[in-house]
Structure 1
Amino acid sequence: MFRCVSLAAALGIFACSAAVHAQKQTIGAPPEASNMKLVGSNDLQARSAYQPTIHHQGARWIAYIGHHGGTDDVPAPVNPMTGKAEPNGTSIIDVTDPTHPKYLRHLPGQEGKYESGGAQMVRVCDGKALPKGDPDAVYMLRTFGGEAHEIWNVTDPASPVLMTRIGGLKDTHKSWWECDTGIAYLVSGAPDWRTRRMTQIYDLSDPAHPQKIRDFGLPGQEPGSTGAVPTELHGPISTGPDGNRVYFGYGTNKGGILQIVDREKLLNGPKEPTPDNLRYPEISRMPMSAFNG
């Protein structure tokens, strides 16, 4: 009995403490921080940020920031550097001095709002790391809305140059690029596949000349299949040749699946997207709750 009373009292104290703490979280209250503090900021031309990548280039640190599409109120914010309204795309910021970030360039993305436009994803590799890259160059891989993947030469981050475009897609999302091998796992929507997002694997070791390796997805997503279509891809993470694993996450907030794949079998196994060939590199698969993805 005493134990029950003590537990009830403890829970009551915790509830009161939580309630008091919750009351402090009010709109307009001073910001709080633990083990960190704000030292600088940039308004990104009022563009909604999604995925940032910070890259060390020479003596500088450069932030490459992917953006969602525009909003109903502001579908294409004005770029003060050009004086023109531009669809959200990629912001490039020099953050070497974090107290004074310097906006270098905005690369417009696909026209569209929210998830239907912009250039949400960005990855960066040094040419000296890529097997066939220019050792003096730096390369950026980005999405162009849902219709394409692009590779830019960003050796001079203030003056990027478009090198390659992989287009004709119906969707894109969070891709992965192995800088030491050049292998890229591109989240794509191939027109003939039954899902809006699957994986197109490319060798981007020479960014100017992409070489396609294969298409990959869950059985039931491939062209010509029937029945229910499994959950679409969200994004992969590769451990590279040493770890020999690729982790594919499927779903967004529902119907999630974690698929663990043998990288060597994925890259060098049979390529035709048949159910057996799609299952061949799979080591295991973990279905998640219907409410997770």
Structure 2
Amino acid sequence: MRLVGHDDLQGRSAYQPIIHAQGNRWIAYVGHHGGKAPNPLTGKVEDNGTSIVDVSDPAKPRYLAHMPGEPGEGESGGAQMVRLCSGKTLPQGQPDKFYLLRTFGNSAHEIWDVSAPEKPALVSRITGVRDTHKNFWECDTGIAYLVSGAPGWKTRRMTQVYDLSDPAKPRFIRNFGLVGQQPGAPDSLRGTDYEMHGPIRVGNRIYFGYNTFLNGVIQIIDREKLLRGNPAAKDPYEPTDDNLTYPVVTTLYTSPRLGAHTTLPLLGMEVPEFAKNTEGRTRDILVVVNESLRNECQENRQMMYVVDITSETKPWGMANFQVPEKSGDFCARGGRFGTHSSNESMTSPYHKKLVFLAYFNAGIRAVDIRDPWSPKEVGYFIPAVTDKTDKRCIRVDGAERCKVAVQTNNVEVDDRGYIYGVDRANTGLHIVELTGAARSIAQP
């Protein structure tokens, strides 16, 4: 993999990037963790929020605007999550508009008009929530699955379903979570042991991941049943045990040492190795990525897992992938080592061929999953530290020990084939491309 371009994102701790074509331009939107930094465009110190960068020429990214987020540090501030829909696609959107859905710290969800990326304008805001996190927005229907903490629920984060087909008029549909998390549930059901992290929808299925580090839960949900509610109930959306169970296709509890930060469905994969078999040549798989949380390997190793979901009610673990620690002496480099997330784009030339992983101090890793039983690495890129890279610390024998290390936090790809990684330790946005044999995997 080769570095194409870089932007320091004003030295802000970055979480989630998305990249979209807007007219004849390609625009990257990057959500940030809490904190603050000077904005040279305004001459002011601003709370971290959302960076908007023109990446039409990936070798020369151009910073367009910064949208301040909620005051606070880490996950208590900023505006970590971003999704974007075109008004041409949203059922009640204005055809000449582009709309950005983002979190506002831990207290709100916001929709912005970013048709002119240099001048974003607030459209609407959803308040009365807490602990907002990784949303998913269906551009073709406007349905959004917002990750929030709702009043009375016994978990920090669950799912709130909204109709955002008209971005100016958000319409609440229902709250949803695991049995035992709803208001009034007995504490013995341990609903507080699990919290929603993020959903991904494909067709009539939604793939939910709960907990990122330990005690993970993977749920496959029937979307139609979730939106319609239980017809046998007096109130089809009331969070009773029956109503919360009604749309569930399957629930898979992971090993206690595993989480489910990202659950990426890759459906209808043709497996070349099975081409001559009379059955089983096409499989549905779920790429599950756990999150590393502790610096310098003071934890269970976190990695990518592959789950066969061809038979939805009987998912089966089939493979894993990890970067050997010895290959880069990663436990001694400082910061976190291990997976955090995968790319989520399903329209790029890499779909069902390559998965890109954010691996913290091991950078961006490109994994060939065409044979999902035997995923293998075909490329990687580890960014260099800069004068903006922040230190990461642990306590050793009662004293604090700090090291400076990159922390590639999230990755995404665009339809042109460029790969984007953003850094948790303030090093910025890295735009890379594949070279050599790895590049040929994505060719038609």
**Shorter-chain-normalised TM-score: which range?**
0.7 to 0.9
TM-superposed deviation, 1:80:
0.9
Distance 1:183 1:272 in 2: 19
**Residue of structure 1 aligned with 2:199, choices 236, 244, 258:** 236
Rg larger in 1 or in 2? 1
SS in 2 for 1:276: helix
Three-state SS of the structure 2 residue aligned to 1:286 is strand
TM-score relative to the length of structure 2? 0.56
| Partner AA of 1:233 in structure 2 | M
Q: Distance in 1 between matches of 2:239 and 2:218?
A: 20
Give 1:163's match in structure 2, choosing from 123, 130, 155.
123
Give the deviation of 1:275 after TM superposition: 1.1
CA deviation string 1:61-80 (max 9, x = no partner): 0000001112xxxxx11111
Equivalent residue, structure 1, for 2:72:
112
How far apart are residue 194 of structure 1 and its match? 1.1
Code of the aligned partner of 1:43: D
1:47 corresponds to 2:12: yes
1:100: Cα distance to partner? 1.1
Cα shift readout 1:242-269 (whole Å, capped 9, x = no counterpart): x211111000201100011111000001
| SS of residue matched to 1:277 | helix
Distance 2:17 2:11 in 1: 15
Displacement after TM superposition at 1:83 (Å): 1.3
Q: How does 1:171-186 map to 2 (within 5 A)?
A: 171-186=131-146
Code of the aligned partner of 1:40? G
User: Which amino acid is 1:274 matched to?
Assistant: T
C-alpha separation between the residues in 1 aligned to 2:125 and 2:85? 17
> What's 2:2 paired with?
37
How far is 1:193 from its partner? 1.0
In structure 2, what is the equivalent of residue 278 of structure 1? 244
Partner SS for 2:224: helix
Q: Where does residue 33 of structure 2 map in the other structure?
A: 68
Aligned to 2:183: 223
Query: Partner of 1:291 in structure 2?
Result: 257
Distance 1:132 1:119 in 2: 25
Question: What's the TM-score once normalised by structure 1's chain length?
Answer: 0.84
Q: Please name the residue that 1:255 is paired with.
A: 215
Query: Which gives a bigger RCO, structure 1 or 2 (Cα 8 Å, sep 6+)?
Result: 2
Tell me which stretches of 4 or more aligned residues in structure 1 moved more than 3 Å. Answer: none
Q: Could you tell me how far 1:103 is from its partner in structure 2? A: 0.5
Code of the residue aligned with 1:85 in structure 2: it is V
- Deviation digits for residues 95-154 of structure 1 (CA, Å, limit 9, x no counterpart): 001111111100011111111111111000000000110000000000011111000000
For residues 77-92 of structure 1, the aligned pairs below 5 Å read 77-92=37-52
**Structure-2 separation of matches of 1:95 and 1:170:** 33
Matched residue SS, 1:206: coil
Paired with 2:53 and 2:152, the residues of 1 have a C-alpha distance of: 38
Q: For 2:225, what is the secondary structure of its paired residue?
A: helix
Does structure 1 residue 122 correspond to structure 2 residue 87? no
The count of corresponding residues between Structure 1 and Structure 2 is: 250
SS across alignment from 2:79 = coil
Structure 1 residue 187, shift from structure 2 partner: 0.4
CA drift at 1:192: 1.8
Deviates more, 1:202-211 or 1:219-228: 219-228
CA distance in 1, matches of 2:173, 2:251: 23
Q: What secondary structure does 2:207 align onto?
A: strand
- Given candidates 156, 166, 175, the residue that maps to 1:196 is 156
More strand by share: 2
Distance in 2, matches of 1:79 and 1:223, equals: 43
**Amino acid in structure 1 at the alignment position of 2:199:** P
Matched AA of 2:28:
A
> Unaligned regions of 5+ residues in structure 1, if any?
1-35, 71-75
Counterpart check, 1:98 vs 2:58: yes
Equivalent position SS for 2:6: coil
User: In the TM superposition, what is the alpha-carbon distance from 1:84 to its structure 2 partner?
Assistant: 1.1
Distance in 2 of aligned mates of 1:191 and 1:272 = 14
> Quick one: distance in 2 between partners of 1:84 and 1:121?
23
SS in 2 for 1:135: coil
User: What amino acid is the match of 2:209?
Assistant: G
**Aligned Cα RMSD in Å?**
0.8
What secondary structure is seen at the aligned counterpart in 1 of 2:78? coil
Deviation of the 1:94 alpha carbon? 0.4
5+ unaligned residues in a row in structure 2: which ranges?
A: 230-235, 260-444
CA distance in 1, matches of 2:257, 2:49: 31
